[in-house]
Structure 1
Amino acid sequence: MDILIHKLTCSSCGNIFNEPKILPCLHTFCKNCIEAFMAEGSAFCPVCNKKIGMRHIDELSDNVFLHSAFDMLALMKDRESFNCDVCDPGDSNSVAFFRCPECMQYLCELHGSAHLKARATKSHQLFTIDQLLSSWNLAHLNRPACCSQHFKEHLSSFCEQCDYPVCNICIVNEHKGHPHMAIDHASNIFKPTTSNLIGEAKPRIIELRDAISGIEEMCKNISENADLALDDIEECFNRQINTLMERRKQLVTEVQTCRMERLEALHEQRDRLQMRLLSVSEMYSFVNDAVKNGNAADYLDIKNAINEQLQAIIKHKEELDVVEEDYIAFHPNDIATQVAIKFLGYIDTRYAYPPLCTAEGPGLEIARRVEPTVFTVLTKDKKGKLLTRGSDNIEVIIEGKGRKDVQIIDNEDGSYTVTYIPIPISENVVHIYVKGLPILGSPFRVPFNVRDYTNITSPLIILGRYGLNIGEFRSPSGVAIDDKRCLLAVCDRDNIRIQIFDLASYEHVSSIDVSGHMQDGPFDIAIDGKGRLLTTDPKGNGIFVFDGDGNMLYKIGSRGQEAGQFGGLCYIAVDNANNIYICDSDNSRIQVFEERGTLVDCYGNYGNEMRQFNLPAGISIGSNSNIYIADRGNHRIQILDSNGQFIHAFGVRGSLNGEFDFPHGIATDVQNNVIVADHYNTRLQIFNSEGEIIHKIDNIILPHCVACDRCGHIYVTTKDNRIYVF
């Protein structure tokens, strides 16, 4: 009974519910309690603090789910008060003996027997009151649900248009013409969805309980560590107090010793002078009497002795100066003491917060050889400030390697030096944990050994052919790499779609139909750090932004010549901050937008000087943030810094190495090597970051757009409706 009473107790007033109402957050309170805290100006649930969102309490639903619990409590207290629902009121023999859950009726013994014999109800299962009390199955005590608009009318149907239960009167009046179904049928349709959600929510309850247990454990640990810190403080200060008392004793001893030594010396001097004074005084008195009172004969008899003694007194130089000084003082040196006290221990409450801890260094960028490579883990607190101590639990796991293959050195300043030997595979996956939780950016995918382009002679694979089917293309153009998800995106222009392939298997993953947004098909494409696909169309109608599932999010810009507009063919790239760079070919300029479409910069015009362009046809952002542009009509590559300032240009028209004939596409790898689709020379040319040629790949049929992944694999679209992978 205690459990049942707890279920029926309002958490606000502590009494049994009186007119229980359900808040939108599904917490239940008495009607009066809700009115009380709403009157006090609180519009939030006292349990979960969610906003109630109701202006009037009558907008809240009654908690009919508690009716069965109320009935069970009433049965337990006084079963004789429940009468048969079929008998006439006042019938003395109408005490309920059975309950029919299906009809939701209490029945006496007589009507219970008749219920089991009637054709319509003989299949119903009846439960005695004793069975109800012993089973505690509240579902057997459900009451009929009545319409709030038509009193005592049972809710028998479900209005599909209005999405709530209605009675028979509602169907012919307020909901006339609305599609509806039997309420039991509707319940059977919707319950599986709710049951699935319940199943999905159950682990959340376990997670919350575990989190609460973790919090309680943390509270316990905090109290224990606080007690240990207090004990350490007490011990430290007792130790310092003992040291201070010992120093005090030393100073007192020094003062007492000084006083004793000086007084002893002065007493000795005083005693010596007193004896001398006595001797001289007696002789002086004797001589004075002899001179004044003695006769001449007596005086002359001792004259020589008297004069000799007097001369001796006059000549003798006594030590009359005081042999000691009275200066004794204590200098406390308060400044030094205050400084010492200031540095006498400190309370360290900062701790490593894994989501803000970071890692950096060459060991997380590129693994060049099977030899030790290094990176640094920086532990930071919840405010993102670097810790200045070590001793945190740092764990580094390289997929495919054991923990013993990783060396971690605690630098005792909040940083940890990690050394490992890479595995010679396409990429090493590095997991970094602080106190068992992943740090910011973990796991890190580290490509192994940047591509040696000089040994490329033929494609690794050729994807597609002309056609309408999956994996086939009609005029493929833009191509982009999603290194995080290991995906390849291709603009299948004349099929008006974007095709997505898996980089590991080169299998088709999905297709995005863009015909509802761009009638002329997608032209060029880029993928930003959030996995969004940004594509342009051949007529410069704008930048179309899709999420990773192909849902259109928003459009940037329109056709035109003003800043923020596009002249026609547009090539696209994004940087690490998700800024968008547009190579506005027909307007011979570069435009830069932030990710939501605000114009940041616009520079360049038609010409052949530096920062001037002639129908540029490709753009790429290097890992050094420089901007690489295929200046098609000028047959050259221009390199600008991140602010659009000219750095360098290379190339002239021709067919020799390092020369171009209308370069169309451009890409950069992680080392800022430059890959150029040399269109009419039917080749790819590969240059280092200084513009010096490394390699060329001939016999590619009119290469158009090009992309490069983290491992240095090159993907190029061609006029023969294929994707060449090198």
Structure 2
Amino acid sequence: MAENGSRKEAQGRTQCPQCQQPFCQPRILPCLHTLCGGCLAKLEPFSALGKGHSAGTHWSVLCPVCDSEVALPAGGVEELLPDWLAEAEVLLAQVQSGGLALPCDLCREGQAEKRCQECKVNVCEFCCQAHRRQKRTAAHPLHPLQDLSLGTILPPAPCCTLHPLEALGLFCEPCTVPCCRDCAIGHHRGHDLRPAAECAGGHRESLLRALQEAEPHIEQLEAALGGVQEAGKALGQRALGLRAEVEAFIEGYVRAVLEHKAALLRDIEEETQRRQQVLALRKAQLQQQLLDLRTASGFTRDLVARGPDLHLLQAQGLALTRLKELNQGAPRAADQNNPAGIQFSPWEEAGLCQGYQMQGVLQVKAADPGKCEARGAGLQSVCQGQPASFTFFCRTASGDPVLGGQPPSVTIVHKDTDRSLHPSIQDNQDGTFHISYLAPEPGELSISVSLRGQHTPGSPFSVKVRGKSQRHPGIYHCCTFCSSGGQKEARCGCGGTMPGGYQGCGHGHKGHPGQSHWSCCGATKEKSECLGVSSSAPRNLLRTVAL
């Protein structure tokens, strides 16, 4: 089992996931997936991370492994970090399989047979004997190339591109690039330069700490994924139980009951499918998170365990960024992982079906007609020929809003003519419904609002329809005392009075609406229609109106 896992891991590090061939010039994407340079060059640009068409525009591509959008450097694929580990493992696999012969690093003439891990060179049989004869290297162990372990770096350490004979033994911290001794006294004069091995040790510790922080997150993701899978099983079992319960209940009914049975089963299927879709989506998200984090952890673990110092220095930024990105946020539990949220009430009335009273309702946070509410200006007083509306609040027995619930049944009848009006019902997708209608003639309307055959509180409502808009014959004043010049006999449509025999309203006294209003009807809105002067209004009220 362990050997099979090691073989699969080795194959994953030597084979491109895009072309399924051994890596050729592998490059590391910011998501820590490695692809051949040729495969990366064939990827279509996903979006431009910049403005205009300038040379500095950065492009992004979709990683074919994890479908993440990753940004490319300004220079494109060529500026992506090479994957030295992948290159070394491909080279080692080719050598051990006999498909590639390496030249001797010392004489450059013979075929390399063994490797000195102390000197980091591959030597032929002749140079191997010379290696043992020299006093300085006589104690160095020489291992056959066929016996080298996974992760052994066969190619020699890279040299400086500006000074090909100089090894990259230093690391510039401000520039975050390796350099040679000649570059240290030239391009990097005055910079903080340290040996590459010393810098790699500090960054290796940072990567190890990041790995330790990622382990609990992996465990949390695995636990959350297990919870989603268990929820899916429980939901399936619950659905089977509900089907059996519904079928046992409706066996005694004929024709109409069979239609009711089909409706109940259809509701169960739809709710089960909806919840399964939510669970499946959450499962896919968790699986992708877990896969991404495992990939990043495996890459970082290989980088820490077997990566050369220079490669670790160059790749540690990518690894830390990716691990930090994947470690953000804790995995959420499934939003609907409780199958008990679906209940079947066998003795609840379900309304009429083909003229028969049916029983048995599937409750998925169903609305309670006794807790629902209808309110708005369209249930009080409306004007002829003008749109009127009110809002229906759909709530459960505990008072919680029901999103996407069953719309109410609204019946509007003109009491004088028995004429029915056709309302418009619109779901606001927030637990409420907007009901609008148009009253074509004055009179009185009866508006019934019901849910599953039961009236909601206050239904039926009696609504008065006024004639077309009337202008105010009075004045818009602050109070009768001010507008009449202090006349005691003057009255106002608001019905307010003042002590001392004043029959009209005054600021802060009984009946005053607390704001400016019309003297004819008491309406507080200045731009409104007149509600009409009372027929019992005395002449001195009309006098106030005239004033």
Q: TM-score, normalised by structure 1?
A: 0.32
Q: TM-score, normalised by structure 2?
A: 0.41
| Greater gyration radius | 1
Task: Name the structure where helix makes up a greater proportion of residues.
Answer: 2
The structure, 1 or 2, with the larger RCO (C-alpha pairs under 8 Å, 6+ apart) is 2
Task: Name the structure where strand makes up a greater proportion of residues.
Answer: 1
